[in-house]
Amino acid sequence: MRKDCINGVVGTTDLTTGQNRLFDWIAANGIETLVVDGICTDICVLQAVQALLSARNHGMTGPLREIVVYEPGCSTYDLPLATARGLGLPDTAAHPQAVAHHIGLYLMQASGAIIAEELVFGGA
Protein backbone atom coordinates (compact mmCIF):
# COMPACT_ATOMS: atom_id res chain seq x y z
CA MET A 1 0.00 0.00 0.00
CA ARG A 2 1.58 3.26 -1.08
CA LYS A 3 1.76 6.19 1.30
CA ASP A 4 2.21 9.85 0.47
CA CYS A 5 3.81 11.14 3.67
CA ILE A 6 6.09 10.01 6.51
CA ASN A 7 3.18 8.66 8.55
CA GLY A 8 2.12 5.45 6.85
CA VAL A 9 -1.32 5.52 8.46
CA VAL A 10 -2.25 9.09 7.64
CA GLY A 11 -0.60 8.59 4.24
CA THR A 12 -3.09 5.87 3.29
CA THR A 13 -6.06 8.20 3.60
CA ASP A 14 -7.81 8.94 0.32
CA LEU A 15 -8.00 12.73 0.21
CA THR A 16 -11.02 12.62 -2.08
CA THR A 17 -13.23 10.36 0.04
CA GLY A 18 -11.60 10.62 3.47
CA GLN A 19 -11.52 6.81 3.66
CA ASN A 20 -8.41 5.25 5.10
CA ARG A 21 -7.28 2.36 2.87
CA LEU A 22 -5.27 0.74 5.68
CA PHE A 23 -8.23 0.72 8.08
CA ASP A 24 -10.47 -0.64 5.32
CA TRP A 25 -7.94 -3.40 4.55
CA ILE A 26 -7.65 -4.34 8.24
CA ALA A 27 -11.44 -4.57 8.59
CA ALA A 28 -11.98 -6.40 5.28
CA ASN A 29 -9.43 -9.05 6.19
CA GLY A 30 -10.39 -9.46 9.85
CA ILE A 31 -6.88 -8.53 11.01
CA GLU A 32 -6.58 -8.81 14.80
CA THR A 33 -2.78 -8.54 15.07
CA LEU A 34 -0.74 -6.27 12.83
CA VAL A 35 3.05 -6.59 12.59
CA VAL A 36 4.91 -3.39 11.75
CA ASP A 37 8.52 -2.92 10.70
CA GLY A 38 10.38 -0.36 8.65
CA ILE A 39 13.09 2.18 8.22
CA CYS A 40 13.49 5.02 10.72
CA THR A 41 12.27 3.40 13.93
CA ASP A 42 12.04 6.77 15.65
CA ILE A 43 10.30 8.61 12.80
CA CYS A 44 8.21 6.67 10.25
CA VAL A 45 7.64 3.52 12.29
CA LEU A 46 6.92 5.47 15.49
CA GLN A 47 4.40 7.76 13.78
CA ALA A 48 2.61 4.87 12.09
CA VAL A 49 2.42 2.78 15.25
CA GLN A 50 1.20 5.63 17.42
CA ALA A 51 -1.43 6.54 14.81
CA LEU A 52 -2.55 2.89 14.66
CA LEU A 53 -2.76 2.69 18.44
CA SER A 54 -4.86 5.86 18.60
CA ALA A 55 -7.13 4.69 15.78
CA ARG A 56 -7.53 1.29 17.44
CA ASN A 57 -8.39 2.94 20.75
CA HIS A 58 -11.10 4.97 18.97
CA GLY A 59 -12.59 1.89 17.27
CA MET A 60 -11.49 2.97 13.80
CA THR A 61 -9.59 -0.21 12.87
CA GLY A 62 -12.29 -2.87 13.04
CA PRO A 63 -11.10 -6.05 14.75
CA LEU A 64 -7.49 -4.88 15.33
CA ARG A 65 -6.40 -5.65 18.90
CA GLU A 66 -2.59 -5.81 18.91
CA ILE A 67 0.12 -3.87 17.13
CA VAL A 68 3.43 -5.71 17.16
CA VAL A 69 6.69 -4.00 16.22
CA TYR A 70 9.20 -6.49 14.84
CA GLU A 71 12.42 -4.98 16.22
CA PRO A 72 14.90 -6.83 13.95
CA GLY A 73 12.94 -5.47 10.98
CA CYS A 74 13.42 -1.87 12.11
CA SER A 75 16.36 0.45 11.91
CA THR A 76 17.16 4.12 11.71
CA TYR A 77 19.96 6.20 10.29
CA ASP A 78 23.19 7.35 11.92
CA LEU A 79 24.43 10.92 11.64
CA PRO A 80 27.26 11.48 14.14
CA LEU A 81 27.70 14.98 15.58
CA ALA A 82 31.10 15.36 13.90
CA THR A 83 29.60 14.49 10.52
CA ALA A 84 26.71 16.91 11.00
CA ARG A 85 29.15 19.67 11.89
CA GLY A 86 31.39 18.74 8.95
CA LEU A 87 28.39 19.18 6.65
CA GLY A 88 27.67 22.58 8.14
CA LEU A 89 24.51 21.33 9.82
CA PRO A 90 23.43 22.47 13.28
CA ASP A 91 24.28 20.21 16.22
CA THR A 92 20.59 19.35 16.49
CA ALA A 93 20.84 17.52 13.14
CA ALA A 94 22.97 14.81 14.76
CA HIS A 95 21.12 11.50 14.97
CA PRO A 96 22.82 8.76 17.00
CA GLN A 97 21.44 5.54 15.52
CA ALA A 98 21.46 3.26 18.59
CA VAL A 99 19.92 5.88 20.88
CA ALA A 100 17.29 6.97 18.36
CA HIS A 101 16.31 3.35 17.64
CA HIS A 102 15.95 2.62 21.36
CA ILE A 103 13.91 5.79 21.98
CA GLY A 104 11.56 4.90 19.14
CA LEU A 105 11.02 1.40 20.52
CA TYR A 106 10.56 2.74 24.05
CA LEU A 107 7.93 5.27 22.96
CA MET A 108 6.00 2.67 20.97
CA GLN A 109 6.00 0.22 23.87
CA ALA A 110 5.02 2.96 26.33
CA SER A 111 2.09 3.78 24.03
CA GLY A 112 0.83 0.18 24.01
CA ALA A 113 2.62 -1.59 21.16
CA ILE A 114 4.23 -4.99 21.65
CA ILE A 115 7.93 -5.05 20.82
CA ALA A 116 9.00 -8.45 19.46
CA GLU A 117 12.45 -9.84 18.77
CA GLU A 118 10.99 -12.95 17.14
CA LEU A 119 7.78 -13.80 15.33
CA VAL A 120 6.21 -17.22 15.72
CA PHE A 121 3.31 -18.09 13.47
CA GLY A 122 0.98 -20.81 14.68
CA GLY A 123 -1.10 -23.02 12.47
CA ALA A 124 -4.28 -24.95 12.96
3-state secondary structure 10-37: HHHECCCCCCEHHHHHHHHCCCCEEEEE
Backbone angles phi, psi at 84, to 5 degrees: -60, -45
- pLDDT over 90 (residue 99): yes
- Overall average pLDDT of the 21-29 stretch: 95
Q: Percent of the chain at pLDDT above 70?
A: 98
Of 26, 15, 21, 24, nearest in space to 2 by CA: 21
Average pLDDT over all residues of the chain: 94
Q: Is residue 3 part of a domain?
A: no
- pLDDT over 80 (residue 111): yes
Q: Which residues does 122 contact at the CB level (< 8 Å), separation at least 6?
A: none
Q: Is residue 57 part of a domain?
A: yes
Q: Is residue 43 part of a domain?
A: yes
- In CATH, what number is assigned to the domain containing residue 92? 3.40.50
Q: Is residue 34 part of a domain?
A: yes
- Overall average pLDDT of the 83-111 stretch: 98
Number of domains in the chain: 1
- Overall average pLDDT of the 9-30 stretch: 93
